[in-house]
Structure 1
Amino acid sequence: MSIINNALTGAAASQIALNTVSQNIANLMTPGYTRQGTLMVSQRATQAGTVSPGDGVKVPSLIRFSDSYKSQQMWQAASELSQRAIPQPYLTQLEQVMGDDESSINSGLDGFFGALNAASVEPTSLPLRQQVITAAEALAQRFNSLNQVLSNQQASIAQQRTSTIDQINSVSKSIAELNSDIAIAQATGTNPSSLIDARDQKIDALASLVAVQVVEQPDGTRSVSLRDGQPLVVGSRSSSLSVQANPDGSQTLKLAFAAESFTITSTRLGGQLGGLDDYERDVLNPLRKSVSDLAGSVADRVNTQLAAGYTMSGATPTPAPPNGPLFTFDASGSSGVLRVVDGVLAADLAFSSDPTKPGNSDNLLKVIDVKNLSVTVGTLGSVRMGDANTQMVGRLAMQSQQNQASLATAETVRNQSEESWKSTSGVNQDEEAVSLMQYQQMYQANLKVIAVANQLFDSTLAMMAG
């Protein structure tokens, strides 16, 4: 009887729907789970006649509530958030180091030129002259300490970049494997929803490491590439990123896919990888050059002016040591960029402009005035020596504030994109509870139809028997 067949299809469809609802409820708190629905379609009548209503209902497939646009927005937000978050600890550390009054370069410069001012009161005083040498050593130590912090950050970035690339390769491989599994599932008629969820989570993790473009393919796989188009995943194949160390200490990214090899530019990487490159290129390297330029200018200007004067013995300070320069500068020195010449004595400081007058302080006053001379420092250009460090600190603070503002915006955008994704793909407990009751009623109603059909059948048999 068609009434029983129809009721059986309805009961079967409601069971499938109840199973789907139970799956959604079971994964209410599962991160990245995309809710599913049951697609029901009326079966057309197979019996001839205009009074044949149909052959019940069927479930051709389940619906996966997914919006590719919202997923893309969430992945882009992940890239931007990571790009802003990764450099902030480095910026904060430099702000604390360079802003410390006790150990800053400004404090060292003030101490050095303060010692020179004190010595100008009595240029022949050996204790006051020795104090100048001590202040010079303290100034050199401040430069070297800051340079060591910058070098440590450079090494940390290189290590973190290598670790990030390893993660990119691992996640890309996982996405390629899931692509293969999804293609097989679809070809064999298996529901691939859980595999697609796992792949989306992997893509989200990859997007936080480096900005990606994702393209859906007809076979259900997804191709993933960098912003500039270099492939990371195509079907079941993934690429391999690597780092090449350069003689100048920099690093070059290489990408190998199949038989092709690409050199990756670092201007549009995004994610953690892009954040590291942006910080290194825009903050760390310019700051290292500025610190080196300032240290070199201090050494050059002070040494040049001392070379124009005379020591307490009436000798010029050049060319034979120890009557030589006060500072030694080495931009790539392993022991520091700036140091006081070994063996320099208090009496060897050429403060006098007259070889017959050891107490003359004319050249000393010119050394003191070096602080007011203009020097060329990195991206700052021409600045007063005494103001150079202040401008470096100010520039760093501005960069940090801008990054913090961008980071706060990125966090807001990411949170909003997640909520937007959840509004479509997330499980709503109240909606599922309503669906659970509706499909339960549908199931019970179809069983009631079967019961009525059985009664009718029994009545018909009884009537025929009578």
Structure 2
Amino acid sequence: MSIFSTGLSGLNAAQNALSTTSNNISNVYTPGYNREVTLLGESRADGGVEVNDIQRQFNQYVASQLNAATSKSSALEAYRQQVDQIDSLLADRDAGLAPLMQNFFSALEDLASAPADPAARQGVLGSVDTLSAQFRSFDGYLQDMQEGINGQIADEVTQINNTTEQLAGINREIILARARTGEAPNGLLNQRDQLVNALSERMDVRLNIQDGKTYNVSLPNGQPLVAGTNHYKLQAMESPADPQRSVLGYRDFAGNLVALEENIVTGGTLGGLMDFRAETLDKTQNQIGQLAVSLAVGVNAQHREGLDLNSEPGEALFTIGAPQAYSYDRNSGSAVASPRFDEANLDGLRASDYTIRVLADNPSTAGGFEVVRKDSGTAVEALFASDTLSFAGVQVDFQGLSSAKQGDRFEIQPVRRAAAGIESAIRDLDKIAAASNSGGSGNNENALRLQELQEQSLVGGSASFSGAYGVMVSDVGNRTNIVQANLDAQQGLTDQLRAVQQSESGVNLDEEAANLIRYQQYYQANAKVIETGQTVIDTILGLRN
């Protein structure tokens, strides 16, 4: 190879190196960009240099670790943002339920001191109204959060579908580029890896690299989201068990929309929202409902034991929301479930939802059903008589039970929205039953019995009203602290992995500035080689003349 060819090869190599360095510098702040390095090698001819590759500095293992960590961080951040709202709601001592329950029992104490005093009676009704309104307010706030979660799930699904569609499109472009040139442009590879990272922020996915080239993405249960150049859409849909609840739907190969189990979705913002709903929001709403039912039923039962100023038996002081029931949309039978509170066994009422499964066609005994607590997954003992299934402080009446088929299911929510229906049932001051049946209409014995309910274990048979509320506040506070601690630890790990990734794939401006000078000198040196060759030729030609 001549001196000119050698110099030209060096000029070409230097030009490529300078172009690569320039590209690195210009993309220093581009999200997802991976630093490129010009790999040089000795020419296969007699001398000179050649450019073997423009290689991007990308470590698949580190990227996978970072995606997994990012997914967990996003889930915890979404969880924290939501649980902070409930914690702030319950921790407000001025706006909480505890002082209002105390005011209610203080009003009963005043009534016991002056059972015929209209002011004392008005104080009781006023405290009933205020306490009921706060229960409804709490339930409304939590229900708004439920609806907000539904909306956020729909938004996240839209973004996930957009990302998987783009990912399938990038796969297609990479295949075409490889078919044309044998190599995929680094820019397309960077875009694809950035899309996988963006997808990980929204939900945990599984990445499989087919033949070391094509990216296939699937849900943790193996259902594909991206398979080569094809993408499969998710859909936010009503839960088959609860039409008020949005869950993730997936179209199977027959085109049917199938609801995915909520525990399949983990990680990312979507997984964090669903975890928060299942672990904290549902539980808190049920605890508020359980407290409202226990208070209303307990007070009503005692109030009925007394006499009002008209010497009439006391009526209910509170109204309360009824339990809810939903039939699964794929039930084969047409039986309908109608739940109600079992006031005689209200100690068994728990802050939980239940699933009733029919184990045999036309069930006629308790053995024909299975009742499972949704919060723990444990089976609950039930009794059955006259088409009524009784368990955990609830009685479920069935209509058309003879049509029930094996596999039919019913969702029972005894206390989920109970607090939404709590109100004062009395407006007439004379109807407050402060007296006992035995002492005439002017005594205070029933007012004293009502006041004593404050210290009795009426919530789940194990806690007082204030005690149950304190446990609920403590539960949410502990959950908030745990999530924050986990988020801090996970964010630290994510930051470490991001630093490792940037040390290998990120652009260092100081390093690139040094490369710019180095390759500039390299270019100038090769230009000098060509200039020297030209001088030699000119000298030789001069000798001939």
Deviations 1:109-155 (A, max 9, x none): 10110000111112122221121111111111111010000110000
Counterpart secondary structure, 1:382: coil
**Gaps (5+ residues) in structure 2?**
325-416
Aligned mate of 2:250, from 255, 260, 264: 255
Shift of 1:376: 3.7
Instruction: Name the structure 1 match of 2:273.
Output: 276
Residue 327 of structure 1: aligned partner: 318
Q: 1:219 to 1:181 in 2, by over 3 A?
A: farther
Matched, 1:111 2:103: yes
- Checking the alignment, whether the CA contact within 8 Å between 2:142 and 2:281 is kept in structure 1 is yes
- Greater shift in the superposed pair: 73-82 or 348-357: 348-357
The Cα offsets for residues 264-318 of structure 1, whole Å up to 9 and x where unpaired, read as: 332252111111111110001111111111111111111111111222232222x
Greater CA drift, 391-400 or 451-460: 451-460
Matched, 1:442 2:537: no
- Deviation digits for residues 202-229 of structure 1 (CA, Å, limit 9, x no counterpart): 2111111101222223362211122232
Quick one: which amino acid aligns to residue 31 of structure 2? P
Q: 1:386 offset after TM fit, Å? A: 2.4
Q: CA deviation at 1:62?
A: 0.8
The one-letter code matched in structure 2 to 1:245 is E
1:165-224, Cα deviation, whole Å (9 max, x unpaired):
011001110111111112222222265111122222221111111012222233622111
Query: Residue type matched to 1:69 in 2?
Result: Y
Query: Secondary structure in 2 aligned to 1:435?
Result: helix
Counterpart in 2 of 1:363? 446
CA distance in 2, matches of 1:244, 1:44: 62
Secondary structure in 1 matching 2:39: strand
* Counterpart amino acid of residue 237 in structure 2: Q
d(CA) in 2 for partners of 1:355, 1:24: 93
Distance 1:197 1:257, change over 3 A: farther
Tell me the distance in 2 between the aligned counterparts of 1:97 and 1:87: 16
Q: Is the 8 A contact 1:9 1:57 kept in 2?
A: yes
- 1:214 aligns with 207
> 2: distance between equivalents of 1:13 and 1:80?
44
Contact 1:238 1:257 in 2 (8 A): no
Contact 1:292 1:337 in 2 (8 A): no
C-alpha distance in 2 between matches for 1:184 and 1:297:
67
Q: How does 1:13-412 map to 2 (within 5 A)?
A: 13-45=13-45, 54-189=46-181, 192-218=185-211, 220-246=213-239, 248=242, 249-256=244-251, 259=254, 263-267=259-263, 268-317=265-314, 324-331=315-322, 336-341=420-425, 343-355=426-438, 357-377=440-460, 382-412=462-492
Q: In the superposition, relative to structure 1, how do residues 66 and 257 fare at CA in structure 2: closer, same or farther (>3 Å)?
A: farther
Residues 105 and 254 (structure 1), Cα distance of their counterparts in 2 relative to 1, 3 Å cut: same
Q: Which moved more, 1:98-107 or 1:211-220?
A: 211-220
Q: For 2:94 and 2:48, how far apart are their aligned partners in 1?
A: 84
Q: Is the 8 A contact 1:43 1:55 kept in 2?
A: yes
Alignment-mate amino acid for residue 453 of structure 2: V
Could you tell me how far 1:391 is from its partner in structure 2? 1.1
Identity of aligned residues (%): 31
Q: Using the TM superposition, give the Cα deviation of residue 244 of structure 1 relative to its aligned residue in structure 2, in angstroms.
A: 2.1
- Deviation string, structure 1 residues 321-350 (Cα, Å, up to 9, x no partner): xxx211111146799321011x54222122
**Distance apart, 1:90 and its partner CA:** 2.4
AA matched with 1:241:
L
Q: Would the aligned equivalents of 1:314 and 1:355 in 2 still touch at CA under 8 Å?
A: no
Answer yes or no: is the 8 Å Cα contact 2:135–2:419 preserved in 1.
no
- CA drift of 1:374 comes to 1.4
Secondary structure at the aligned position of 1:34 is classed as: coil
- Secondary structure of the corresponding residue to residue 313 of structure 1: coil
- Output one character per residue of 1:329-376: Cα deviation in whole Å (capped at 9) or x when no partner: 1146799321011x5422212222245522322222111111112134
Deviations 1:374-393 (A, max 9, x none): 1345xxx8322221111111
* Cα distance per residue 1:69-89 (max 9 Å; x no partner): 111122112211110111323
Unaligned runs of 5+ in 1: 46-53, 318-323
Provide the C-alpha distance between the structure 2 equivalents of 1:68 and 1:274, rounded to a whole number of angstroms: 24
Higher helix share: 1
The residue identity in structure 2 corresponding to 1:179 is N
Structure possessing the higher radius of gyration over alpha carbons: 1
Partners of 1:354 and 1:360 within 8 A in 2: no
Give the secondary structure class of the aligned counterpart of 1:186: helix
Q: Is the 8 A contact 2:235 2:248 kept in 1?
A: yes
TM-score (ref. length: structure 1): 0.91
Q: Pick closer, same or farther for the CA change 1:361–1:335 going to 2, 3 Å.
A: closer
Distance 1:278 1:157 in 2: 11
Distance apart, 1:462 and its partner CA = 4.0
Alignment length, in residue pairs? 447
The question of whether the paired residues in 2 share the 8 Å contact of 1:3 and 1:449 is answered with yes
Contact kept, 8 Å, 1:302 with 1:326, in 2: the verdict is yes
Q: Per the alignment, do residues 229 and 251 of structure 1 end up closer, same or farther by CA in structure 2, a change over 3 Å counting?
A: same
C-alpha displacement at 1:402, in angstroms? 1.0
CA–CA separation in structure 2 for the residues paired with 1:191 and 1:234: 18
Contact 2:101/2:131, CA 8 A, preserved across alignment = yes
